[in-house]
């Protein structure tokens, strides 16, 4: 069993060039080997390789099938990615209701990306009735754990009074935090806030020049 897990870990090392030269073909081969032996995280990683064309030709149908296989075994990242496939029609027909259900399931397993996407579903009414208060709460939950997209989304809620009272100072602080972590949209919004003195003193900012 340990040997099989180490095949998966070696694939990860080759994929990201950890302790060795990056080799996507080798990573794909190792994930394939471990997936055949039933390693759930390898089934997921193999799906990702097929989705993005890493070490193999891009095949979204195959990616969808592999995410489905790993999701059925309770793998939270696969449940999330399966939801993403249903939302955007990757390897399957678009189904927003299924996407919502899968995000909800993955969020229940503490998948932080799923918490954020669940918030977006409630914010925009994707596969569920629009509920801005729940959207705000979900963004806050993920932002409190440092999730970058959620920091930005929470800032947007405060800026525009979505699911909460409008608070431009809080919006500024959240955009600043996300911008410092490299989030492009937050950098743009922060630049705008500085330029117009929203939630902060008016001043020139490097964030205006992205």
Each residue's pLDDT tens digit, 112-143: 999 999 999 999 999 999 999 999 999 999 99
User: Residue 148: what pLDDT?
Assistant: 98
Determine how many CB atoms are found less than 10 A away from the CB of residue 148: 18
For each of the domains in the chain, give its residue range(s) and CATH number, in order of start: 1-58 (1.25.40.10), 131-209 (1.25.40.10)
Determine how many CB atoms are found less than 10 A away from the CB of residue 171: 24
User: Residue 208: what pLDDT?
Assistant: 53
Whether the model clears a pTM of 0.85, i.e. scores above it, the answer is yes
User: Residue 202: what pLDDT?
Assistant: 84
> Is there a contact between 150 and 143 (Cβ–Cβ < 8 Å)?
yes
Q: Which residues of 26-38 are buried (b: 16+ CB within 10 A; e: fewer)?
A: bbbbbbbbbbeee
User: Residue 104: what pLDDT?
Assistant: 99
Sequence-distant (6+) residues with CB within 8 A of 183 are 148, 149, 151, 152
Segments in the chain below pLDDT 70? 1-2, 205-210
Residue 49's nearest CA partner among 31, 74, 22, 71 is 31
């Amino acid at each position: 069993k340990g040997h099989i897990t180490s095949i998966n870990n070696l694939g990860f090392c080759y994929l990201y060039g950890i302790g060795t030269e990056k080799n996507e073909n080798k990573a794909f081969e190792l994930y394939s080997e471990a997936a055949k032996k039933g390693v759930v995280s390898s089934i997921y990683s193999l799906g990702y390789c097929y989705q993005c064309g890493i070490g193999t030709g891009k095949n979204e149908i195959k990616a969808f099938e592999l995410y489905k296989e790993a999701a059925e075994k309770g793998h939270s990242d696969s449940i999330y990615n399966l939801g993403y496939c249903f939302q955007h029609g990757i390897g399957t027909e678009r189904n927003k209701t299924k996407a919502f259900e899968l995000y909800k399931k993955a969020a229940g397993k503490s998948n932080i990306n799923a918490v954020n996407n669940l918030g977006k579903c409630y914010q925009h009414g994707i596969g569920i009735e629009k509920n801005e208060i729940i959207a705000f709460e979900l963004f806050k939950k993920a932002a409190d754990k440092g999730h970058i997209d959620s920091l930005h989304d929470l800032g947007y809620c405060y800026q525009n009074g979505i699911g909460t009272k409008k608070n431009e100072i809080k919006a500024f602080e959240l955009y600043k935090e996300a911008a410092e972590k490299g989030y492009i949209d937050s950098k743009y919004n922060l630049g705008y806030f500085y330029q117009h003195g929203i939630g902060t003193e008016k001043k020139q900012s490097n964030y205006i020049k992205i």
